[in-house]
Amino acid sequence: MVKYENLGYHTIDEYTIDFMDTLLPTNRTYDFFVNWEKVFANLENKIVEINILNSLNKIGSERVENKFIEILKKYPECVPILPMILAIRDEKVDVFDMKNKTFQKIDFSKNNFQMDDIVTFSKETGLLNLFNEIDDLYSYLTGTEVGLDTNGRKNRSGHIFEGIIGDLLEETIKDNPQYTLVPEDTSIKIKRNKRADFVIYDNNVPKFIFECNFYSAGGSKPIETANAYIDLQKSIDETNMTFIWITDGLGWKKMFTSLKFAMGSIDYVLNYNMLKENIKNILI
């Protein structure tokens, strides 16, 4: 069971109530929203092709199709840019043609594309007309890349919370030379292959193992994680190390029963605010 008395609580109920009352509403830092480095790197890699296609905005609508074909024949490396304009990452796009009642796989690779397929796709999707509607393709694609980058927020979310915890741990031990913080430590096996999010070494001996998770919503994943950490606690009980599970997010309000069950088997289950208040006492 959670060692609530070590955390300054008189009863398990007092501890669980405080846990639920102090959950973070979000782990979104300013870095969460857009990875600008990735956005501009993606565009920089295609800057020549983008500028070539951008010339189409100077062509009248009655001539844009012919000029479009002319450009693709002369510069086939522009073809892979076309899906990007429609916020598609794939080089091959599956389409069902309602007019002809046929299925097509359209290849946008520069060496294998079929001109008729590309022109039909560009006309039917409105992509071709877009060149007469925008002033600058680079600016347009910047917005498109920002939109596509939102798919990376889920991955950033977990890493950001780890960063928040890592900063707190670093700040806590900075004046204690006997402690060393090692992130993503793979040397602590304990009957599993997964790396430890953080390990604090005391005079070069692994002493505290930290795992970090943030859940904005409920689902099966948090419950699976809780069960896995119950097993991890059993393995750590056979060592001289201490396991500390740092988990946060309003998703736990919908899964309190599962979390309370895990609290019955894990020594330390803390949210960020509880860690901030108690980490020095735990290390002592």
- CA distance linking residue 103 with residue 94, whole number of Å: 7
Interval 74-101 mean pLDDT: 92
Q: Where are the alpha helices (DSSP H) in 45-136?
A: 47-54, 64-74, 82-85, 115-124, 127-130
For residue 210, give every residue at least 6 positions away whose Cβ sits within 8 Å of its Cβ, in sequence order, or none. Answer: 165, 169, 196, 197, 198, 199, 200, 244, 245, 246
Could you count the other beta carbons within 10 Å of the beta carbon of residue 162?
A: 21
pLDDT band at 2 (very low <50, low <70, confident <90, very high): very high
Query: Closest by alpha carbon to 230, among 202, 198, 192?
Result: 192
pLDDT at residue 220 in the model: 84
Helix, strand, or coil (residue 212): strand
The answer for residues whose C-beta is within 8 angstroms of residue 283's C-beta and 6 or more apart is 172, 173, 176, 179, 200, 208
Residue 74 main-chain phi, psi, to 5 deg: -80, -35
Task: Return the pLDDT at 156.
Answer: 73
Higher-confidence position of 72 and 29: 72
pLDDT at 127: 95
Give the residue carrying structure tokens 């090692």. Answer: 182
pLDDT digits (tens, 9 = 90+) for 193-245: 678 999 999 999 999 999 999 998 878 888 899 999 999 999 999 999 999 99
pLDDT higher than 80, residue 96: yes
pLDDT score, position 158: 66
Q: How much is the pLDDT for 221?
A: 84
- What's the token pair of residue 96? 């069902």
Structural domains of the chain sorted by starting position, each given as residue range(s) with its CATH number in brackets:
4-26+176-283 (3.40.1350), 36-151 (no CATH)
Q: Looking at residue 85, what is its pLDDT?
A: 95
Relative to beta strand 242-248, strand 196-202 is: unpaired
| Spatial distance between the Cα atoms of 72 and 113, rounded to a whole number of angstroms | 10
pLDDT confidence tier of residue 191, bands split at 50, 70 and 90 = low
Contact 138, 54 (CB under 8 A): yes
Residue 57, helix vs strand vs coil: helix
Average pLDDT of the chain, as a whole number: 92
Q: What are 35-83's pLDDT values in tens digits?
A: 999 999 999 999 999 999 999 999 998 999 999 999 999 999 999 999 9
Give me the pLDDT at residue 284, please: 79
Interatomic CA distance for residues 154 and 221, integer angstroms: 13
pLDDT of amino acid 192: 63
- What b/e readout covers 233-245, taking b as 16+ CB neighbours within 10 angstroms? beebeeeebbbbb
Rounded Cα–Cα distance for residues 228 and 236 (Å) = 12
What is the C-alpha to C-alpha distance for residues 109 and 214, in angstroms, rounded to an integer?
39
- 111 band by pLDDT with thresholds 50, 70 and 90: very high
pTM more than 0.85: no
Residue type, 103: F
Query: Is residue 70 classed as helix, strand or coil in its secondary structure?
Result: helix
